A and B are shown apart, each in its own frame.
Chain A
Amino acid sequence: TQLLEQSPQFLSIQEGENLTVYCNSSSVFSSLQWYRQEPGEGPVLLVTVVTGGEVKKLKRLTFQFGDARKDSSLHITAAQPGDTGLYLCASGGSNYKLTFGKGTLLTVNP
């Protein structure tokens, strides 16, 4: 079973600051997904990265996949209160299992 470690576990910042959260594994990811979850709601898919070294941008969010496909990062520029939520990374292996990390709980204060 592939274990995904996310860091930091908690992050509280002020509006306008930049931040980076990380997702790491000891195994190679076949692909990696990032989700955001708001309280009481289901996770919502943000992006999927597949190729080592890949960089994807979604407005103020930048997702990077490590060259060795063992790590990924999510960078948010000029964070806003609406970015508050639990950020989860997930990956599936050769089996059908889709495994999630424990997430980074981000709070952006106005």
Chain B
Amino acid sequence: AQKVTQAQTEISVVEKEDVTLDCVYETRDTTYYLFWYKQPPSGELVFLIRRNSFDEQNEISGRYSWNFQKSTSSFNFTITASQVVDSAVYFCALRTNFGNEKLTFGTGTRLTIIP
């Protein structure tokens, strides 16, 4: 069985502060993919990143960065210098091997950036 835990239900930070969203996953498969999606108030989820289990390099994209640590089964997401447009619900998701077509989503973290 696979599981994704996002323990932070809601986070509020003041604009320009850095914020980290936590994601812990469980799987017995050795090959898997991890994802982050953003859900703005409009409703649709927007893909942010995909990482495979063999690539533990951290990734940076502008103000966004991701820290993948297999030793702690975590795939955390950091937004630096947060902006009001970052306010959204963020989902972490897990997919295991090519035969399994399903993404398992966490329960999401609602991030509010206070101007």
**A joins B in a complex:** no
Spell out B's residues near A (CB within 8 Å): none
